Amino acid sequence: MTHLLALVLGAIYVLGFAPFDLWPLVFIAIGGLFWLLQQPDANPLLLTYVFGIGKYAVGASWVYVSIHVYGNAPPWLAGSLVVLFVLLLAFLFTLPVGWLYRTLRDEAAWSLQNVLVFTAAWIAVDWVSTWLLTGFPWLLPGYAVMQTWAGGWIPVLGVLGTGAGVVLSAAAAVALVGQRRWIWVGAVMAVAVWLGGALISTATWVQVASTHSVALVQGNIDQNLKWLREQAVPNIESHVTLSQAHWDADILVWPEGAITLFPQQVQGLLNQLNARGQATATNVVVGIPDLTVLPGDQYEFRNTAIGLGQASGKFAKIHLVPFGEYVPLESVLRGLIEFFDLPMSSSVPGDVDQENLSLSMGEAAMAICYEVAYPETMRRQAATAALLMTISNDTWFGESIGPHQHMQIAQARARENGRWMLRGTNNGVTAIVDHEGVVQDQLPQFEAGVLRGEVSVMQGRTPFSYVGHWPVLALLIMALAWRLMARRAQRS
């Protein structure tokens, strides 16, 4: 019964995120897991693993759409692959929480030490999820509370630090029920996290320097047709037609892979877009695959965004999607099923230290699709940027919850760095997000159209943009080291 409850808690945890946005359920799920861990017969490894299975079975369910609908795998195979994926994610990114907790916990249940160890273990594993095996930084608790009082910490401590506050306050609240002796400590923690966040949100880190018009093109090209050779020209024509009435905008954005041919094949089109953009003083950003010819008839593919007209430069995607843009164990898996041979699944990553796109109003820190989930990469690029921009093709995930989670992550990057975010997608969610992570306007999903609006260039920087996660990581290291030394002292 206890393990079934852990599974349910993991599942309802996901309901705290977009598109459901029932953020108190994140608080309840985390607190519930901590309560289970305090029981006399609790098995921390099994409990956290089962919690993780519930979390990812619901939260990453959108992967099934990619494998079955667009990878053409039969339901039984797609379902089996998703099960393996969920079990792996739970093993990598929740079971270690239980291992750390079991290793460093205090023998007395409900203790303050256990609250701190649980918090440190959770956030340490969340941090690991941002880089281990290319990372899967999804469903971090800080995202769920972004528009609450606790979200005021995001420009200061980022999503990881804000998530630490959520976990800390949830565990402390539960511990107060079991151990009333230190109720004042729990009260201080709750006040520091929630009321403190509300107070910090009143601080002004950045100011508007200038405002510019923008047009985000949403082509709504069916994924089953998008990469067909005969569809390449109609794809282009759709985007050209949609853009026709919007060359008066300061910024015009086409989404990821709007052009499905290589630059060498469409140089005439690129020249036309460049000339039109210069004539109308428009900064044009276009998603297009890139081909580099190497000696010996070898090739390299990259997923890129290029600047035309008043814009210039090229950005190549850094964080590639496993199986979507490269195939792990390629010699074994390539060709087994159609999903392992998707278009552009032999891409190579761009350089970590590449330059931002240059626009007439300043630099644009770019993230292509999935890589907007990496806070440290975006922070590094945003340090010199006037605005943030992400182009994506969430068509892979159909009508699932995936695109909404992806949108919420992009909103957090805007709030962390105090910069407006332009998000241009093939079929949604195309949106304009302000520097506080609030959506100012968006297009309906699954409709072709153009989102017109304004974007503000901000002056100044948030504390997080200067220091990143280092304060949070320093506290984590100290907390874990303190408990490790205390445990060794108890055993000696």
The two structure tokens encoding residue 286: 């276009």
**C-alpha to C-alpha distance for 388 and 419, rounded to whole angstroms:** 6
Which amino acid is it at 73?
A: A
Distance CA 381, CA 326 (A): 24
The residue from 55, 226, 317, 325 that is catalytic is: 317
pLDDT of residue 150: 96
Residues 199 and 212 occupy one common structural domain: no
Whole-number pLDDT of residue 79: 92
- Give the model's confidence band at 178: pLDDT under 50 very low, under 70 low, under 90 confident, else very high: confident
Is the peptide bond prior to 82 cis by the omega test (within 30 degrees of 0)? Answer: no
**Does one domain contain both 331 and 358?**
yes
Task: Report the DSSP beta bridge partners of residue 294.
Answer: 298
More confident residue, 12 or 77: 12
Q: What is the rounded radius of gyration, in angstroms, for the C-alpha atoms of the chain?
A: 23
What's the mean pLDDT in 352-381?
Answer: 96
Told to judge if 317 belongs to the known catalytic residues of this protein, a careful annotator would answer: yes
Taken in order 27, 194, 421, 462, the sign of the CA dihedral is negative
CA angle 119, 125, 127 (to 5 degrees): 100
Greatest extent of the chain over all pairs of C-alpha atoms, in Å: 77
Do 165 and 302 fall into the same domain?
A: no
CB environment 359-369: b (16+ within 10 A), e (fewer):
bebebbbbbbb
Mean pLDDT, residues 244-249 taken together = 98
* pLDDT number for residue 330: 47
Percent of residues, the chain, with pLDDT higher than 70:
93
| pLDDT for residue 343 | 53
Q: Does the active-site annotation cover 226?
A: no
Query: Same domain for 80 and 173?
Result: yes
User: What is the residue range of 365's domain?
Assistant: 208-461
pLDDT surpassing 80 at residue 331: no
DSSP for 375-420, please give it: HHHHHHHHTTEEEEEEEE-GGGGTTSSHHHHHHHHHHHHHHHHT--
CB 90 within 8 A of CB 53: yes
Computed over every residue of the chain, the mean pLDDT equals 91
86 in the same domain as 62: yes
Q: Is the confidence at residue 328, as pLDDT, over 70?
A: no
Give Cα 355 distance to the centre of its chain.
21
266 plus 156 within the same structural domain:
no
CATH number for the domain spanning 452: value is 3.60.110.10
* Same domain, yes or no: 58 and 103: yes
* 24-35 average pLDDT score: 97
> Among the options 256, 363, 371, 436, which is catalytic?
256
Catalytic residue among 325, 369, 416, 436: 369
Answer yes or no: do 402 and 481 share one domain. no
* Model confidence at 467: pLDDT above 60: yes
Active site residue 454: no
- The per-residue pLDDT for range 121-173, each reduced to its tens digit, is 999 999 999 998 888 999 999 999 999 999 999 999 999 999 999 999 999 98
Q: For residues 258 and 342, state if they share a domain.
A: yes
**Which pLDDT value is given to residue 110?**
85
What CA–CA distance (Å, rounded) separates 3 from 370? 32
Lowest mean pLDDT among 163-172, 190-199, 231-240, 292-301: 292-301
Is 154 found in the same domain as 230? no
Q: Is the pLDDT of residue 1 over 90?
A: no
> Given a cut of 80, is residue 421 above it in pLDDT?
yes
**462 neighbors 205 (Cβ within 8 angstroms):** yes
Q: Which pLDDT score, from 0 to 100, does residue 138 have?
A: 95
Helix (H, G, I), strand (E, B) or coil at 287: strand
Q: Kindly tell me if the per-residue pLDDT of 334 is higher than 50.
A: no
pTM attached to this predicted model: 0.94
Query: Do residues 317 and 173 both lie within one domain?
Result: no
Among residues 76, 75, 25, which one has the least CA distance to residue 54? 25
Q: What is the pLDDT of residues 159-168, one digit of tens each?
A: 999 999 999 9
pLDDT for position 360: 98
Q: How far apart are CA 74 and CA 337, in angstroms?
A: 10
* Mean pLDDT, range 432-443, rounded to an integer: 98
Count structural domains, the chain.
2
Q: Are residues 249 and 191 in the same domain?
A: no
